[in-house]
Amino acid sequence: MYIPSVYPMKNRYKTHQQQYALIDLDHNEDMFSNQCGIKNKQDDEEDTDMLTFIWGITNWFLKQGSTGLQKIKYDNRIKQFGAEIWYFFTNAQYWIPFLLNQCGSVLYYYSLSKTDFSTAVPVTNALTLLITYLCDVISRPQLLNSRFLIDHKMFNNISNRTFSIIRHGLKPSFSMRIQNASTKVRFNYEDAFDLESQLKDDERMVRDQFRNYCQEKLMPRVIEANRKEIFHTEIMRELGELGVLGPTIQGYGCAGISYVAYGLLAREIERVDSGYRSAFSVQSSLVMFPISEFGTEEQKEKYLPKLATGELIGCFGLTEPNHGSDPGSLETQAHWDENKQVYILNGTKSWITNSPIADIAVIWAKCDDKEIRGFILERSMKGFTTPKIEGKFSLRASITGQIAMDDVQVPKANLLPKVKGLKGPFSCLNNARFGIGWGTLGAAEFCLHTARQYTLERATPEMISLIKRNSCGKSLDIARQCRDMLGANGISDEYHIIRHVMNLEAVNTYEGTHDIHALILGRAITGLPAFATSTSQPTV
């Protein structure tokens, strides 16, 4: 049996007002036995005492944690293959080498137990990775006599308790204790990111109330909306009644909730459909946010309360037919007419969510001084039109269009005065991206839950063809890349590619999925199935 030992402190020195001790690893089983008071016993009895001691130390790890181990993690000084391990310590006592020896054994046995789940020592959260790394180093024979710096202060106040366990012969079945303590933690498919444990009560309340609305009111409508490419405008009023529009804004009829709660809202609505989340995000992050951040008090009083209730619907005009990812090159112009004391806006915006139904639009345009400025345009302004983009094969439950501006006269009172340049639109986009980041998790979770339930309930046939897997997979990859090359137009049926992408998604699944082909190929090559039922045996 390999027992990592620690000689009494030697080569002690001071650096940065801290004490250190250099520790060597060695095959010193006798030292371990003597320190434990184990003499003239058979090997199996000796192991029992050692395991009892190890369990005492391990139990302390579970309950107390370790400042030293945390220090290692954050300093990133553990390397798995041969580097020194650094621990800090202060006020070392004479018994520390003894305790370090035992803790080395704890880590060693934990390393061994990784190969036997029935006796695995449980170690929680942050400690798991650290102790695993430590075990991998300690248990490598080629690393004997490597030097380690150990944090001694983490062992204060535990020696008496540990010694008591040994002296009083507390020897419960080690394997039983370990088995009871190492109950397997099952993956929670309903909360894959363990968000529940991290949320506050008010955040859970906001999420649960909005989830009920989304599942009871939006889910029954989404299939029809997607099939017929319809956005039900009454949804904006319903969201307003719930108080979830512009939710992070303080005052003006807005809820003023945290950004975490806002993310939870986006997650729940996109659990139903990305199109609904898109309409929600545009209203909150791209219309209400810039008015709140960059608008005058008069603008806030005029627009925000009605936007918060859904009485007004807004849109955000930045993307243009020739300029998407390079907004600094936008072509929409805002010319100041000195005689009429108004800005004259001319230009076109494209792929604008909510534009066909919008009452107001936040438009970004270049002024005479080449600075990009924001303007609030209203539906009633002459020369302001918003044709709908038809034939989308994505985000069909939201409405998308263009914004055409032909000599639209915008009073100076509608200029957002507190921002110039790309800071304005980029601030809005960053706010919206926060919601998108949360929202897409909701869509992914819905897909995971649905697919998991479906695959658990449905039995699938076995045999499929090799050529179908390769041809379908490659064709789908090609179609997706071609759709990307067309930019926003890639989802328009006018160019046909999106139709092929959507069709190939189905073709890739029917008559045997891509992954089923991989399983069959693996069995044909190796003679081994990926899994076997209780009544069948793998063939070699």
Report residue 423's pLDDT band, with 50, 70 and 90 as the boundaries. very high
- Which domain, by its residues, includes 470? 461-540
Residue 135 counted as domain residue: yes
pLDDT: which is higher, 465 or 82: 465
Same domain, 215 and 314: yes
Task: Pick from 18-32, 192-206, 301-315 the range whose average pLDDT is largest.
Answer: 301-315
Residues 136 and 274 in one domain: no
Quick one: 281 and 249 in the same domain? yes
Are both 175 and 203 inside the same structural domain? no
Give the lowest-confidence range in 47-51, 405-409, 424-428, 435-439.
47-51
The token pair that represents 488 in the structure block: 């926003």
Report yes or no on 276 lying in a domain.
yes
Q: Which helix (DSSP H) or strand (DSSP E) does residue 15 occupy?
A: strand 10-15
In a domain, 319, yes or no: yes
List Cβ neighbours of 37 (8 Å cut-off, separation of 6 or more). Answer: 166, 167
| Same domain, residue pair 205 and 319 | yes
pTM for the model stands at 0.59
Higher pLDDT, 132 or 354: 354
Instruction: Please state which of the ranges 412-426, 460-474, 512-526 shows the lowest mean pLDDT.
Output: 460-474
Indicate whether 343 and 219 sit together in one domain. Answer: yes
Tell me how many domains the chain contains.
3
Identify the domain boundary among 181, 207, 237.
181
Rounded CA-CA distance 484/505 in Å is 16
* Main-chain dihedrals φ then ψ at residue 442, nearest 5 degrees: -60, -40
244 and 290 in a common domain: yes
Mean pLDDT confidence for 475-504: 80
Predicted pLDDT of residue 469: 61
**CA–CA separation, 206 and 93 (whole Å):** 53
| Band of residue 45 on the pLDDT scale cut at 50, 70, 90 | very low
The answer as to whether 383 is a domain residue is: yes
- Quickly state the pLDDT bin for 501 (edges 50, 70, 90): confident
Band of residue 268 on the pLDDT scale cut at 50, 70, 90: very high
Report residue 459's pLDDT band, with 50, 70 and 90 as the boundaries. low
Give the pLDDT band (50/70/90) at residue 172.
very low
Of 358, 129, 385, 77, nearest to 233 by C-alpha is 358
Q: Which of 168-177, 194-203, 232-241, 484-493 has the highest mean pLDDT?
A: 232-241
Say whether both 319 and 354 belong to one domain.
yes
Domain boundary among 118, 147, 181: 181
Alpha helices in 214-273 (DSSP H): 219-228, 234-242, 259-272
479 has pLDDT over 60:
yes
Least trusted range by pLDDT, from 48-57, 385-394, 456-465, 486-495: 48-57
379 vs 167 pLDDT, higher one: 379
Tell whether 269 is covered by a domain.
Answer: yes
Q: Which pair of structure tokens corresponds to residue 435?
A: 């919601």
Q: What is the pLDDT of residue 512?
A: 58
In this prediction, residue 494 carries a pLDDT of 79
The per-residue pLDDT for 468 is: 58
- Final residue belonging to a domain, choices 434, 453, 471: 434
User: Of the listed 84, 301, 390, 511, which one is catalytic?
Assistant: 511
- Do both 21 and 90 map to the same domain? yes
Could you read off the pLDDT of 373-395 as tens digits, one per residue?
999 999 999 999 999 999 888 88
Same domain, 329 and 422: yes
Among residues 404, 406, 377, the alpha carbon closest in space to that of 389 is found at: 404
Domain-embedded: residue 440: no
CATH code of the domain in which 498 resides: 1.20.140.10
pLDDT tier for residue 155 given thresholds of 50, 70 and 90: very low
Nearest CA-CA partner of 125 in 176, 61, 178:
61
Query: What mean pLDDT comes out for the span 26-48?
Result: 38
Pair (406, 471) in one structural domain:
no
In this prediction, residue 88 carries a pLDDT of 33
- Concerning whether 511 is annotated as a catalytic residue, the answer is yes
Do 417 and 530 share a domain, yes or no?
no
Residue 102 has pLDDT above 80, yes or no: no
Q: What region does 493 belong to: left with phi over 0, alpha with psi -120 to 50, or beta?
A: alpha
Residue 356 lies in a domain: yes
What confidence score (pLDDT) does residue 241 get? 95
Q: What angle do CA 496, 350, 364 make, to 5 degrees?
A: 160
Residue 253 reports pLDDT greater than 70: yes
Given a cut of 70, whether residue 314 has pLDDT beyond it is yes
Does a structural domain hold residue 120? yes
Give the confidence band of 7 by pLDDT, cuts at 50, 70, 90.
very low
Q: CA nearest 501: which of 511, 491, 509, 510?
A: 491
We report the CATH number of the domain holding residue 358 as 1.10.540.10
Q: Which of 318, 296, 291 is nearest to 306 (CA)?
A: 291
Mean pLDDT score across all residues of the chain: 70
User: Is 60 exceeded by the pLDDT of residue 59?
Assistant: no
